Chain A
Amino acid sequence: MNGISITPDVVRGCGEIIAMAERYRRLFSDYPDPAAKRNRPADWDPLNPYRDSEYEDDDRYHVLQMAQMPRDLALTILKGIATPDCDLRNFYFQINRYDIGDYILPHRDSLQQGLYMLTDSEVDGLVVQSGPGRMEFVPDRAGTLIEHDPAAWHWVDPVRDHVRYTLVTIPARPPARRG
């Protein structure tokens, strides 16, 4: 398993991205979906670390994917993490919002992702497996990029401090244009 890479000051204009995301708050999708919550079976277990990483109705947070994102917000995000020499044709990104109490349960991913922190906190952050048999807490630092092995366990504890924002991208960094 690869270790984690923590790179500070990667995102430019975190405050501008957050201010714009707040204006588009109504566009975020909620997890869990209310219908999924209503339809939980009687024997539903609130924690299944081996769930499909695309299934997020056991988690509690809010997502705005790039396909649903207003153009000005998308451009502000790209201005913050990409440069003109990037090839963005196959670059995916979404912005995640965690209100107080929101969380993502322990899980592993299937694809390499980039986790960009947009807010600061001493209390809230990412818990991530940083090597074989070792877990680590990474506090929120606005602008920081975390890259970890997709097979690493990771989660976000219920948020305590204030509204938390992150970006998730696939791949982790905008690819450079070839040639």
Chain B
Amino acid sequence: MSTHQALLDPAVLRALDPSFIDLPSEESVLEGVASRYAVLELGAEDPRRAAVLDVVDLAALPGEPDVVVVRRYSRGDYALPHRFGEEVAGAGWGVHVALQDSLVDGLTFWDGQEFTRVLDTAGTPVRPAMDAWCWTSPVRADVRYTVTIGGRA
């Protein structure tokens, strides 16, 4: 894990808000409940992609970003347990990056030995294995943004 000091202008994130799509309700590994958040995929030609990637320590990534998916959690939203690679289906590698700091919200994932909880540090890539279980418990902040970046192996 590395630390990158750049911070994303909150106005940039707010400008993305109208483009998010609520996650379609689909069955999760936990019978009877579904994850709750909104997603926005930023394609290679999307002019907003550079602003989001600007806060990420690209030198810490294993390769060139291919898939870039921003997630927006309102207060109380959550991502139920899933395999990390599902966030960037088809990619060979992936990293999770929070876009703001938090003392309470974060990502829980299997690190190969234990489950661990990483609290949000803006711009710092977290790299669970692609088949690692991970989740985000109900978010406490008014709004929380993360980006998952995937690339070719």
Contact = CB atoms under 8 A, between A and B. Distances in A.
B49 interface: no
A106 B81 contact: yes
A157 interface: yes
B115 interface: yes
Contact of B103 (A49, A123, A136, A155): A123
A133 B117 CA distance: 24
A60 interface: yes
Interface residues of B, number: 24
Contacts of A153: 30, 32-33
B129 to A, nearest CB: 11
A86 interface: no
Interface residues of A, number: 23
A114 interface: no
Given A46-B110, A49-B29, A49-B81, A158 B34 contact: no
Interface of B: 25, 29-30, 32-34, 76, 78, 80-81, 103-104, 108, 110, 114-117, 119, 133, 135, 137-138, 140
14 contacts: A46-B110, A122-B103, A122-B104, A123-B104, A127-B138, A129-B32, A132-B32, A133-B34, A137-B138, A153-B33, A157-B137, A158-B108, A158-B115, A160-B117
Interface of A: 46-47, 49, 60, 101, 103, 105-106, 122-123, 127, 129, 132-137, 153, 155, 157-158, 160
